[in-house]
Amino acid sequence: MSVTHRRYASALGALVLAAAFALLVAQQPLWEHALSAVFPAAANPVYPSVTLAELVVRHLTIVGVSSGLTMLVGIPLGVWVTRPSGADFREIVATAVDFGQTFPPIAVLALMVPILGFGLGPAVVALFLYGLFPVVSNTVAGIEGVPRTLVDAARGMGMGRARILLTLEVLLAARVIMAGVRTSVVINIGTATVAAAVGAGGLGDPIIRGINVQNFAYVLQGATAAALLAIVADTVLAATERLLTPRGLET
Amino acid sequence: MIRLVDVTKRYDETLAVDGISLEVPTGEVCVLIGPSGCGKTTTLRMINRLIEPTSGLIEIDGRDIMSASPVELRRHIGYVIQSVGLFPHLTVAENVATVPRLLGWKRERTASRVRDLLSVVGLDPAEYGDKYPRHLSGGQAQRVGVARALAADPPVLLMDEPFGAVDPLTRERLQAAFERIQREMRKTVVFVTHDVDEAIRLADRIALMRAGRLEQYDAPEVILDHPASKFVHDFVGTDRAIKRLGRTRVADVMRADVEATADGTRGIDAAACAGTRFMYIVDDDGVLEGWVDCRVLAAGTPPEEAGTRVDWREAAATPDTTLKDALSRMLGLGFRDLAVVDDDGRLLGEVSLAAIEQTMSAGDVHVSNLPEGEVLGAPVADEGEATT
């Protein structure tokens, strides 16, 4: 199979998987059957307050907003510290994003509630900080992985700095940057279940409720859906990574 | 014309380039050469302002290079580097189109220019235009690098050890291609190398540098025959008679009146062989396949045993081969005559050791006129040994 076929095949595969997942979470009765089979004692095997589909949409909203912010801030930040103007801040930025990932998100949630109140706000801040590290470090690695001789050739031919950054460095680093985004998003899908603790909703809701009311069918429901969502997101982002890889670099 | 007047580049305490002045007349090739760290690459990179001079004046065709923006300046100067630096995410054609696109050329004009240039550097545009750089060999990549530098037809070309990273055979071909292109295009070229033979072969003038200073700036013949200092003398080496052969090409001394047959050894007998030393065997397209040694044949050996089969890529020269390389090939193969073929292996003639010897003795006049240990021209610190 040719390289071109492969990149579209993987994109198609990812779309099919995403559609299958969407169909699956929409089948509320199916989950009821499956969970009551696993937990025959449970009177109420499925989380009753909202449908699974609504939980997934809410979860994706939390992850989408926080990961979107992560990319919006992380990629430019990573690029900036590879420029002469930002080179002096490189260590500080590296330490800060490293700290962002080591600091427990649950603690960030707790600290943010007094400032931002309950709900989406603290969840987004916690996940944004938590996911910054892979995006920034991969952006730096990707840009620095572009051979200096290419940049030298580009300058020597009369390309300006902005043009070199946008048409050469970022393009050639796209694959590595996307790999960082992918890691960040997949981690955030799992971590976002914690956000239910501050009332942000999402797939963490049935898990926390399940623990509180000793109904482990709820826990299994939320955890299974979150795990499947992470797999789907990973596949979709891997296909995106492939689509963003410049053709001349494919192997 | 490129003119450098008292150009200096200082890094903190070190003087990388120390008051260089030289002129490269329009259409000539100036080769900057010298030991590592002598400032040759720094000098080259100051001409397109990849490095800004600390002091001094650099002019291209009478215009101070500081008068325009560096980006604008560089778009009118071709730039070729050792690592080639082709953009891996762009096709060969897109790579060559880089500067025309920066200059905002129309699509059709760029496309036809790209096709022309790929042909000029010896690559079929239809075959190579849509390839990506990773599919090219080192030699092909550097041909594309040269095409890219020439794309916008800049009057000036800067080449930084362009053929330094390829194998000797490929380098020889690239040098021959460069000579051919330069004969046609007459660019003003500044060329950095550390290979003396390459400098002697390609230069109209050689600028020999040491420790940031210009030791001598002269035609290769003058550098060979009248070294200005012991340093120049030692740098060029003692084999200057052989080095001088690098200035002459096979085309200048070959004979075209050779006997050849397309009938294999069948068509050869003592009569056909009379009056010639070798009867060359070619195929129907005239591509060299081997030869029969007529003296061996005359001694009674049957033609099929007196014949030698060869691969023309290894046992022949092209008209662009330097006499130095031809001689080296003869010595390596133990031949006194070498077949000359074109780029596709078609027999053109032969070059003899006698003809090379004649060239050698004709130019061989000043080899030993440098007084031993004496310093001529610029002051030179005591270093190394006298080799005369």
Domains and CATH numbers, chain B: 2-248 (3.40.50.300), 251-362 (3.10.580.10)
B290 phi, psi to nearest 5 deg: 165, -165
**Residue at B233: amino acid letter:** H
Q: What is the pLDDT of residues B7-20, one digit of tens each?
A: 999 998 889 999 99
Task: Please tell me whether the interface predicted TM-score (ipTM) of this complex is above 0.90.
Answer: no
pLDDT in tens, chain A (251 residues): 566 777 888 889 999 999 998 888 888 888 888 888 888 777 777 777 788 888 899 999 999 999 999 999 999 999 999 998 888 888 898 888 888 888 888 888 888 888 888 888 888 988 998 899 999 999 999 999 999 999 999 999 999 999 999 999 999 999 999 999 999 999 999 988 888 888 888 888 889 888 888 888 888 888 989 999 999 999 999 998 888 888 888 76
Overall domain count for chain A: 1
Residue B73 CA to residue B190 CA, distance in Å, equals: 16
CA distances from A232 to A17, A225, A237 (A): 7, 10, 9
Q: Residue B2, Cα to own-chain centre: how many angstroms?
A: 21
pTM over 0.90: no
Contacts of B158 in chain A (CB under 8 A): 156
**Those residues with Cβ within 8 angstroms of residue B200's Cβ, 6 or more apart along the chain or in another chain:** B206, B220, B223, B224, B243, B244, B246, B247
Query: What pLDDT score does B372 carry?
Result: 42
Helix axis angle, A204-212 relative to A216-244, nearest 10°? 160
The CATH number assigned to the domain holding A94 equals 1.10.3720.10
Minimal-distance CA residue of chain B relative to A171: B89
Q: State both tokens at B378.
A: 């610029």
**Are residues B71 and A157, on separate chains, in Cβ contact within 8 Å?**
no
- Name which of B47, B76, B89, B99 to mutate to probe chain A: the one with the most chain A Cβ atoms within 10 A of its Cβ: B89
- Residue A62's domain spans which residues? 3-249
Residue B95 CA to residue B129 CA, distance in Å, equals: 9
**B interface toward A at CB cutoff 8 Å?**
48, 50, 70-76, 79, 81, 83-91, 98-99, 102, 132-134, 148-149, 158
CA distances from B212 to A140, B6, B40 (A): 36, 11, 8
Residue A71 CA to residue B12 CA, distance in Å, equals: 40
**Are residues B87 and A159, on separate chains, in Cβ contact within 8 Å?**
no
Q: Are B22 and B29 in contact (CB under 8 A)?
A: no
